[in-house]
Amino acid sequence: MWNHSGVELDRTTEETKDLDMDAAALLAFKVWTYKQGELVSLMIHLGDRLGLYHDLAHAGPTTPAELAERTGLHQRWLLEWLRGQAAAGLLETTDGETFEMSPESATVLSDESDSLLFAAGAFQGGAAPPEVVDRIAEAFRTGIGLTYDEMGPAAAHSVERMLAPWSRIALVPELLPRLADASERLGGGARVIDVGCGAGTAVLTLAEAFPGSTFEGWDPSAHAIERARAAAAERGIPNATFVQQPAAGLPDEPTFDLVLTFDCLHDMTHPEQAAEAIRGCIAADGTWLIKEVKAGDTWAENQRNPVLAMMYATSVLTCMSSALSAPDGAGLGTLGLPPARLEQLCRDAGFSGAFDVHDIGDPANLYYEVRPN
């Protein structure tokens, strides 16, 4: 038997360990598929970054020479990348010489502006730079994780590219009409705050759709707020402002008709304080709209999630890490707020009105419409 470096393994040593060698070989294969996933992820990032998917999406059958001509990139490098993409099942080829992108592949890998299935943005720059990995390893010793800002400016960009398509494409046409009165109130002129707004896509999308309402985005991340302010200035959106502050600093007066927290309560060190602060700043007839990861109450329920391992890895790298970035952090993490626990959090913070759950067919998230009274 040979291992991957071509060294012959001592078969008798292996056998005396009382191993099921077939099961071990299968497990080794599984482990190598994760390595393959890591490397194909990097190739997806290159395809996205170099505009290759954009080009191929509209091009029809393409040879490396034609792709090189159109993009100005080197043909030999493109050939290797194209063959790898076909091997990964992302492009089509019959001869390894001419390649084509299917409409389905274009939807997932190229169509950032109007496809909810667009995924290439999530491959921005690898899972984490080495210095962040070093700090995560250290966090296993200290117990203290990294804030979003401590993961660096590239992480803010990655998070934005991964989450922005939903806010841009689905928030106004898909989610708002399901809420009791949000569209009417926004149309009539409302005060809105997005707590944990990240790079501000939801705020900017709503501000453009409802020019008679005013919008604030709050987030403690300097990198995210910088991106949000730059986007607002570039798009010339006058009714949106951004504040670099955590939820705990919200004004203690019933000011806002609509409060948003999208994909961020489980990242907070003190989500219960955030809920109390939101209770303090929401109008008596206001709405708190929450987007939270679709999590189960038990390990068995979570087994139904086909990307469960990715969720836990995301938690270690990002969500739980952020939620443990203070010594007394709650540390909820990616799967830490299933519906019952979220409802308890809201009730404990003084939200005594309706708690409605909206499952709008988003495989990863649930949406909650919560009323203070």
Ligand X SMILES: C[S@@+](CC[C@H](N)C(=O)[O-])C[C@H]1O[C@@H](n2cnc3c(N)ncnc32)[C@H](O)[C@@H]1O
Tell me: does residue 277 bind ligand X (CB under 6 A): no
Binding-site member from 220, 333, 338, 372 for ligand X (CB under 6 A):
220
Tell me: does residue 112 bind ligand X (CB under 6 A): no
Tell me: does residue 110 bind ligand X (CB under 6 A): no
Q: Which of residues 184-213 bind ligand X (CB under 6 A)?
A: 195-198, 201
55/160 with CB nearer ligand X: 160
Q: Which residues contact 336 (CB under 8 A, 6 or more apart)?
A: 266, 295, 315, 319, 320, 323, 330
Place of tokens 């961020």: 264
Which residue of this chain has its Cβ atom nearest to ligand X in the complex? 198
**Residues 120-149: x/- map of binding to ligand X (CB under 6 A)?**
----------------------------x-
Separation CA 298–CA 301 (nearest Å): 5
Closest CA to 101 of 69, 66, 53: 53
Tell me: does residue 231 bind ligand X (CB under 6 A): no
Tell me: does residue 275 bind ligand X (CB under 6 A): no
Q: Are strands 191-195 and 214-218 parallel, antiparallel or unpaired?
A: parallel
Tell me: does residue 311 bind ligand X (CB under 6 A): no
* Binding piece for ligand X, criterion CB under 6 A, among 37-45, 77-85, 206-214, 257-265: 257-265
Tell me: does residue 258 bind ligand X (CB under 6 A): no
148/351 with CB nearer ligand X: 148
DSSP 201-226: HHHHHHHHH-TTSEEEEE-S-HHHHH
90/289 with CB nearer ligand X: 289
Q: How far is CA 197 from each of CA 101, 115, 284, rounded to the nearest angstrom?
A: 35, 22, 23
Tokens standing for residue 189: 């002129």
Separation CA 64–CA 141 (nearest Å): 49
Tell me: does residue 217 bind ligand X (CB under 6 A): no
Interface with ligand X (CB under 6 A), residue total 21
**Residues 85, 91: contact at Cβ < 8 Å?**
yes
Dihedral sign, Cα of residue 34, residue 38, residue 43, residue 44: positive
Q: Which residues contact 212 (CB under 8 A, 6 or more apart)?
A: 187, 188, 189
91/332 with CB nearer ligand X: 332
Q: Which of residues 145-164 bind ligand X (CB under 6 A)?
A: 148, 159, 163
Name the site residues for ligand X (rule: CB under 6 A).
148, 159, 163, 195-198, 201, 219-221, 224, 246-247, 262-264, 267-268, 274, 322
